[in-house]
Structure 1
């Protein structure tokens, strides 16, 4: 529990209430601080896995907590951006697609783990995560910079790209899962 990769993962989980607070009734400073917090959390997501593999400290706890930390953070940010109307109109659909896929894949992974089946993360799923993080980071940043940068446009385009990749990777996981359910 106390190795550095696990502490980095736990720090992402502990950052979520802070992110929610900063995005609640956002001000430019709150959005800027939320953007920095989100970026730091994203960096810890990379380094926790890298350090665990590099130092041979991969743990069951880390393997369990890492995807949960990612999903909690992404879900909380999407909900807050929708609540604050940064994501609005038809763009809410992209956010809902991402949220539903995360819930469905988590349930499917849990079922498959019970059947002793491991589903590796595909390259497309890694790209989906990258676009998702860029989208959410840009949409958070938009609250701090307004129209000075095209943060909103970049964020929404990346959100839709992530949603499309979400549907594809979700289907891939479902296809693999269905083979083990029959």
Structure 2
């Protein structure tokens, strides 16, 4: 994975893609609030609906930015932040209500540590006017995480309708954690290579 210099486009702050990203950020407290009362199955279904809508915007904002030629530095900055906020907040709520527990806590720790690692590297390289582009496999990692978390957000409510929803979510969650380790190492290797080449 290469590290490239930041390209600054003329994009507008309130373009359609950016508004979708803002919407994804706004969805975070709604999902958290619903999961706070996760013992009520209806609240889990509402949380799932909002979570799915937020996940769809993750695809749409990038697609529309390219389609409408509205790519911007603000969008490139906000998109991964919105993803991390959504994933991290949902992870914490699922751990709190014991949907994720026991050995699966290790997978949650791996995912959170990777997010901190990549965020730290992005902040460091931002000071050097260098960006770390999102690789294709990292996008697949994000997609798998969102799908796994969707199953887990449904959790007991989903199991009441179709047994095995939680188990499927945990299996996908572990697969996402393994992919997270790979992409985290990929980012770290590219960052170390860039630093050592500049010395």
Give the TM interval when normalised to the shorter protein.
over 0.9
CA distance in 1, matches of 2:183, 2:30: 30
Among 72, 80, 84, the residue aligned to 1:67: 80
Q: Does 1:137 align with 2:150?
A: yes
Among 10, 13, 16, the residue aligned to 1:4: 16
Structure 1 unmatched runs, 5+: none
Pairing of 1:21-170 with structure 2 (within 5 A): 21-26=33-38, 27-149=40-162, 150-170=164-184
Structure 2 unmatched runs, 5+: 1-12
Q: Is the 8 A contact 2:158 2:166 kept in 1?
A: no
Q: Is the 8 A contact 2:25 2:86 kept in 1?
A: yes
CA distance in 1, matches of 2:83, 2:134: 14
Q: Which has the larger radius of gyration?
A: 2
Residues 6-47 of structure 1: CA deviation (Å, up to 9, x unaligned): 111001111111110000031100000000000000001111
Larger mean CA deviation between 147-156 and 64-73 belongs to: 147-156
Structure with higher helix content? 1
Q: Is the 8 A contact 2:21 2:58 kept in 1?
A: yes
Report the Cα offset of residue 147 of structure 1. 4.1
Larger mean CA deviation between 158-167 and 117-126 belongs to: 117-126
Instruction: Give 3-state SS (helix, strand or coil) of 1:103's partner.
Output: helix
